[in-house]
Amino acid sequence: MPILSIRHLTRYRYRNPVALGEHRMMLRPRESYDQRILACDLTISPTPARLRSVHDVFGNCVGVATFTGRTDHLVFDSHVRLEHTPLPAFADVEGEVEVYTGAMPFDYSPEDLPDLQLSMQRSYPDPQGLIDVWARRFVKPVGKTSLQTLLSDMTQAIYAEFKYNSRLARGIQDPLETLALRSGTCRDYAVLMMEAARSLGLAARFVSGYIYSPMVGAGLGRASAGHTHAWVRVYLPACGWVEFDPTNGIVGNADLVRVAIARDPRQAVPLYGSWSGLPADYLDMQVEVDVRDEGELDVQPIQARAIGAGG
């Protein structure tokens, strides 16, 4: 099992010293049977007056920093060492692949349904049912449709038929726009697949985290490498939550490191906060994300360009 070293650096610059409000961070990966934190360190400059951690409603670890005084810069430098265990999709904790027999039509059990209902609700209007039509293309017109095949085919369709574009602006593209343009960011693809899965009665959640790109030196790296990444998890009866990354055509957790899981992408923003000053005081924000396997010393760090604004 590889040991991944993850560095996530965010730097804000201001023309004149500004007063900083509260900042909230989702930078610490979630621990589970497939990812275990070996070391975690966060350095913030200027040093916050108070730094605490809380768990949100989804169990994500959220750092909360408050500041005093004024500053012309703000830096968050996160370092994590993580034991990562890639497992085939639809496998048990020992890695034994099982035949998954779940098929449509289906129903969640009465015991699971109350906890899944909010993750089954659509978040974006689709007045003409275009996303519904697109999602139904993966359902057999006659007979039962394997859920494993349906979701794998949907993942591969976005990967093969859509063009990945990085976007500097914040926010999520409307899934109808993503469907029409056949292009978007990893966040846009995740939201489109969530809405498509939900249109079929499935519970789906948004995942924010990191992706390891082992072939970046050869120019064949994963899309979204060097940035934070986003994908989808869908709850399948008798199988549990399964990861699907439509940006890279990944089914399962290979190369994916979960940090935050949420019903809506706005609940899984890696870093956000406020500051007080003149609008012209803000200069820029720069982000660098470096994910490498400690066993592969020749892997070069990946650096992201400036993304978005604010802080």
Q: DSSP class of residue 32?
A: B
pLDDT at 99 over 60: no
Calculate mean pLDDT across residues 87-99: 60
* 3-83+268-293 and 87-267 agree in CATH topology: no
Domain 87-267 falls in which CATH fold?
C8orf32 fold (3.10.620)
Calculate mean pLDDT across residues 153-161: 97
Token pair for residue 53? 């951690």
Sign for the CA dihedral angle at 81, 83, 89, 93 comes to negative
Higher pLDDT, 35 or 304: 35
Tell me what pLDDT residue 132 has: 97
Number of residues that this document lists for the chain: 311
Comparing CA positions, the residue from 159, 211, 225 lying closest to residue 189 is 159
Q: Where are the domains of the chain?
A: 3-83+268-293, 87-267
Architecture of domain 3-83+268-293: Sandwich (2.60)
pLDDT band of residue 267 (cuts 50, 70, 90) is very high
The per-residue DSSP string of 162-212 comes to SEE----S-S---HHHHHHHTEE-HHHHHHHHHHHHHHTT-EEEEEEEEE-
Q: What is the pairing mode between strands 183-184 and 163-164?
A: parallel
Sign for the CA dihedral angle at 104, 105, 111, 112 comes to positive
Over residues 169-192, the pLDDT tens digits come to 668 999 999 999 999 999 999 999
